[in-house]
């Protein structure tokens, strides 16, 4: 399961199957999750802020080999077709053909086929929702977030990356309803900025979240949008 899938699971209400994040925020975060996934796998690197404003955020492909996931493979193809693309131009909803285009529907469809979610359509408007069928995967993800943010346990790189993306979408208080919201938020910031991963991965997170903020992300969920 990709980080993008884990993000989707925590961004969906288990019962109603509707997203708790605004559409633009979630789309940008899902695109960012693909880049972070590739950085974790050492398939790409991203120029840090120290590289200067002309180079900052540029993506360099390190390994073009197949990943066994069609969405990751498609991103690698896009990156190799035009070298040096910037993160903000890849995930911003204001960009022509961002890598997140159609991504949410594809990942939702995959989770439906795996039996994790169901797909329902409203009788009047035909709006889709994706209530949970198998709660195991989503609860496992939420459990890892709780362990890291409330219990204070040391998370894996993937979990820290997910925390950073969840926080960037603005849905953290709805996903991790801890006894002390300020403490949860402070812990999330500490982990996101801490010495937890290879620099290339931290650069990917930093650029992705900055690009989301610049395009209007991080403003919190609308609590009722269809998925």
Q: Where are the alpha helices (DSSP H) in the chain?
A: 3-10, 23-40, 70-81, 87-91, 103-113, 136-149, 157-169, 172-175, 181-193, 199-214
Residue 160 domain flag: no
Residue 190 domain flag: no
Residue 150 domain flag: no
What's the DSSP call for residue 46?
E
Range 64-70 contact pairs with CB under 8 angstroms and sequence separation of 24 or more: 67/38, 67/41, 67/43, 69/2, 70/106
Residue 155 domain flag: no
Question: What is the distance between the alpha carbons of residues 100 and 30, in angstroms, rounded to a whole number?
Answer: 6
CB 161 within 8 A of CB 2: no
Residue 129 domain flag: yes
pTM of the predicted structure, to 2 decimals: 0.88
Rg value, the chain, Cα: 17
Residues of the chain above pLDDT 90, percent? 55
Residue 102 domain flag: yes
pLDDT tens for each residue of 50-100: 877 788 888 999 999 999 999 999 999 999 998 888 888 888 877 777 898
Domains of the chain: total = 1
Range of the domain at 42: 3-134+198-214
Residue 163 domain flag: no
Residue 39 domain flag: yes
**Average pLDDT estimate for 201-211:** 76
Question: What is the distance between the alpha carbons of residues 14 and 9, in angstroms, rounded to a whole number?
Answer: 8
Residue 220 clears pLDDT 70, i.e. is over it: no
> Which tokens hold the place of 3?
């980080």
Question: What is the distance between the alpha carbons of residues 72 and 106, in angstroms, rounded to a whole number?
Answer: 12
* pLDDT band at 124; cut points 50, 70, 90: confident
Q: Tell me, what CATH number does 63's domain have? A: 1.10.3630.10
Question: What is the distance between the alpha carbons of residues 158 and 143, in angstroms, rounded to a whole number?
Answer: 14
């Amino acid at each position: 399961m990709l980080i993008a899938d884990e993000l989707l699971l925590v961004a969906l209400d288990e019962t109603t199957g509707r997203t708790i994040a605004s559409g633009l925020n979630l789309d940008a975060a899902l695109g960012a999750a693909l880049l972070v996934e590739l950085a974790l796998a050492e398939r790409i690197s991203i120029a840090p802020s120290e590289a200067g404003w002309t180079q900052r955020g540029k993506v360099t492909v390190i390994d073009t080999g197949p990943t066994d996931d069609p969405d990751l493979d498609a991103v690698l193809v896009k990156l190799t077709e035009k070298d040096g693309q910037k993160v903000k131009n890849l995930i911003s909803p204001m960009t022509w053909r961002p890598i997140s285009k159609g991504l949410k529907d594809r990942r939702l469809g995959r989770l439906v086929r795996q039996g994790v979610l169901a797909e329902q359509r409203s009788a009047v408007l035909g709006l889709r929702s994706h209530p949970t069928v198998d709660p195991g995967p989503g609860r496992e993800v939420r459990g890892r977030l709780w362990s890291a943010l409330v219990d204070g346990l040391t998370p894996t790189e993937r979990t820290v990356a997910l925390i950073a993306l969840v926080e960037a979408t603005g849905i953290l208080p709805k996903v991790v309803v801890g006894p002390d919201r300020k403490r949860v938020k402070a812990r999330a910031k500490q982990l996101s900025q801490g010495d937890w991963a290879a620099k290339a991965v931290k650069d990917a997170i930093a650029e992705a979240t900055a690009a989301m903020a610049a395009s209007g992300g991080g403003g919190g969920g609308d609590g009722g949008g269809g998925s």
